[in-house]
């Protein structure tokens, strides 16, 4: 806590008294003002942000064009109820989205968060198929409400004491850096066999398969293309709906609007949230009209289609397209990966580096040979980076993620990497 100013310290003390102990605070940053690529804390210390508020502020914090759209809508009205009445603004969001989506995705359900977007996807697949089972993946994070939590299998603490869960089977994800089936491609994508076996065991009873195209909370894990393509093929063969959780990877974070585009596949249902509102709470579940065939009353909510959230989403989508932020994500992502691989050669702790666009994961290990998780090293790095003015977030057991706003410039990326390099040197000196 040494670098913290007095106002920040006071706020943290009050927080400890008032706020639920279930939250996972990873560092002592007390944010007060946000702008573009930067965050200022309660004592006015400035930081460079490599988190975008957990992959949310893709257009940059407090983006003036989005703020203007929100202000305009605030003066017109905030909420009446899109589940009960009609309104044009949510439809404009759908219209703006449609050219960014495969043609089969043409029906929309609005909610307020990632977990709600996943819940709707899960319930819709169960309703449409009239089947009960789901298959999900080890390491997956799909949210924390009980339906989504049943699909999640990330950290044990997230599920402990919350049983019973929905009928879900988890099978291995293609986490090639830590796989006991041999190294890729010699492994023959053995994890696909586990998936197929599970599908066969539950023959005729599986409603859907839910997957993150790049696992987010588990460490920004990029699977081989054949893994995702194989899952698509098997889902089609077994007439099982493929549900794509793009809550973290969507909205151009990986350079493409949907991460599934990198794998050249189409999915049956998609969940979006986080960056869609650039900070305003919004969730969206998308499917084909024939799949979203549930009757009135089977699923609805109070706040979905909220006018201010929709005004923000509309302005966000326009900004992402106008500024070609997907292209910038790809360009800067390549620079970051190249710099990181140079750092990796010099560092004994950088075990694995992976990512697409600006969804980049760095996994720390105690030794590159044993691959023992470098949890203390990762935690020390995040704390040191914060002291030096860079905000980072963990991902996975001993990794951290680089997911800055997509407006990031090369100089800002290099500055952040310089801080990461300095922190690594300091940690290595101590060991």
Ligand X SMILES: Cc1ncc(COP(=O)(O)O)c(C=O)c1O
Options 247, 258, 269, 386; binder of ligand X; rule CB under 6 A:
247
Choice between 56 and 317, CB closer to ligand X: 56
> Minimal distance in Å, beta carbon 105 to ligand X?
17
User: How would you write 74-103 as a 3-class SS string?
Assistant: HHHCCCCCCCCCCCCHHHHHHHHHHHHCCC
> Minimal distance in Å, beta carbon 248 to ligand X?
4
Tell me which residue has its CB nearest to ligand X. Answer: 114
According to CB under 6 A, which residues from 194 to 223 bind ligand X?
212, 216-217
Options 143, 208, 255, 304; binder of ligand X; rule CB under 6 A:
143
DSSP string, 169-185: EEE----GGG-TT-STT
Options 142, 232, 262, 348; binder of ligand X; rule CB under 6 A:
142
Choice between 142 and 354, CB closer to ligand X: 142
> Minimal distance in Å, beta carbon 271 to ligand X?
7
Dihedral, 280, 26, 399, 388 alpha carbons, nearest 10: 100
Residue 169, token pair as written in the block: 């089977």
Options 63, 113, 154, 198; binder of ligand X; rule CB under 6 A:
113
**Contact between 147 and 153 (Cβ < 8 Å):** no
CA 381 to mean position of chain CA atoms? 22
> Minimal distance in Å, beta carbon 215 to ligand X?
8
d(CA 340, CA 334): 10
Q: How many amino acids of this chain bind ligand X (CB under 6 A)? A: 14
**Backbone phi, psi, residue 171, to 5°:** -125, 160
According to CB under 6 A, which residues from 316 to 375 bind ligand X?
none
Residue 371, token pair as written in the block: 């691959």
Applying CB under 6 A, the span of 4-12, 69-77, 140-148, 192-200 interacting with ligand X comes to 140-148
**Contact between 179 and 191 (Cβ < 8 Å):** yes
According to CB under 6 A, which residues from 251 to 280 bind ligand X?
273
Options 58, 111, 115, 328; binder of ligand X; rule CB under 6 A:
115
Choice between 50 and 349, CB closer to ligand X: 50
**What number of other Cβ atoms are within 10 A of residue 160's Cβ?**
8
Choice between 172 and 427, CB closer to ligand X: 172
Options 60, 90, 114, 219; binder of ligand X; rule CB under 6 A:
114
Residue 6, token pair as written in the block: 């007095």
> Minimal distance in Å, beta carbon 22 to ligand X?
13
Choice between 216 and 351, CB closer to ligand X: 216
Options 41, 49, 244, 245; binder of ligand X; rule CB under 6 A:
245
d(CA 421, CA 265): 37
**Contact between 398 and 373 (Cβ < 8 Å):** yes
d(CA 205, CA 44): 56
> Minimal distance in Å, beta carbon 395 to ligand X?
10
Choice between 215 and 288, CB closer to ligand X: 215
d(CA 409, CA 299): 42
DSSP 3-state of 303: coil
Q: Cα angle at 162 between 157 and 165, to 5 degrees?
A: 115
> Minimal distance in Å, beta carbon 383 to ligand X?
22
CA 403 to mean position of chain CA atoms? 9
> Minimal distance in Å, beta carbon 227 to ligand X?
17
Beta-strand relationship, 359-364 and 107-111: unpaired
The residues with which 157 forms a beta bridge, in sequence order, are none
> Minimal distance in Å, beta carbon 423 to ligand X?
25
> Which contiguous run of DSSP H or E holds residue 28?
none
- Euclidean distance between the first and the last CA atom of the chain, given in angstroms as a whole number: 22
Choice between 47 and 141, CB closer to ligand X: 141
Instruction: Tell me if 139 contacts ligand X by CB under 6 A.
Output: no
Choice between 231 and 247, CB closer to ligand X: 247
Give residues in contact with ligand X (CB under 6 A): 113-115, 118, 141-143, 212, 216-217, 245, 247-248, 273
């Amino acid at each position: 806590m040494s670098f913290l100013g007095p106002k920040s310290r006071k706020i943290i003390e009050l927080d400890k008294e008032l706020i639920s102990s279930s939250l996972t605070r990873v560092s002592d940053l007390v944010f007060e003002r946000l702008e573009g690529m930067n965050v200022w804390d309660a004592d006015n210390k400035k930081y460079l942000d490599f988190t975008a508020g957990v992959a949310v502020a893709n257009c940059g914090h407090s983006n003036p064009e989005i703020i203007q759209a929100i202000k305009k809508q605030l003066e017109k009205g905030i909420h009446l109820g899109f589940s009960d009445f009609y309104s044009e603004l949510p439809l404009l969001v759908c219209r703006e989205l449609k050219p960014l989506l495969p043609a089969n995705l043409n029906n929309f359900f609005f909610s307020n968060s990632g977990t709600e977007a996943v819940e709707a996807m899960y319930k819709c697949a169960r309703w449409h198929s009239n089947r009960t089972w789901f298959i999900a993946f080890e390491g997956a994070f799909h949210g924390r409400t009980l339906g989504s939590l049943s699909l999640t299998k990330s950290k044990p603490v997230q599920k402990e004491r919350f049983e019973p869960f929905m009928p879900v089977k988890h099978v291995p994800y293609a986490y090639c850096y830590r796989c006991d089936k041999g190294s890729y491609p010699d492994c023959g994508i053995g994890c696909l066999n586990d998936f197929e076996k599970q599908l066969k065991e539950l023959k005729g009873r599986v409603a859907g398969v839910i997957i993150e195209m790049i696992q987010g909370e588990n460490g920004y894990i990029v699977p081989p293309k054949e893994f995702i393509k194989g899952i698509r093929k098997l889902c089609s063969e077994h007439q099982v709906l493929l549900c794509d959780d793009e809550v973290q990877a969507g909205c151009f974070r990986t350079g493409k609007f949907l991460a599934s585009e990198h794998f050249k596949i189409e999915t049956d249902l998609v969940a979006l949230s986080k960056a869609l509102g650039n900070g305003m709470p919004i969730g969206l579940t998308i499917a084909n009209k024939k799949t979203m065939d549930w009757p009135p009353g089977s699923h609805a909510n109070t706040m979905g289609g909220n006018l201010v959230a929709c005004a923000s989403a509309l302005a966000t989508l326009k900004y992402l397209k106008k500024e070609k932020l997907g292209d910038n994500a790809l360009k800067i992502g390549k620079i970051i990966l190249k710099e990181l691989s140079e750092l990796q050669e010099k560092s004994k702790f950088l075990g694995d580096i992976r990512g697409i666009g600006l969804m980049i994961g760095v996994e720390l290990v105690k030794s590159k040979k044993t691959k023992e998780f470098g949890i203390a090293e990762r935690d020390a790095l995040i704390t040191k980076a914060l002291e030096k003015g860079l905000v980072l977030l963990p991902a996975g057991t001993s990794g951290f993620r680089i997911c800055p706003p997509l407006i990031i410039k090369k100089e800002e990326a290099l500055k952040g990497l310089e801080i990461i390099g300095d922190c690594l040197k300091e940690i290595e000196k101590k060991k």
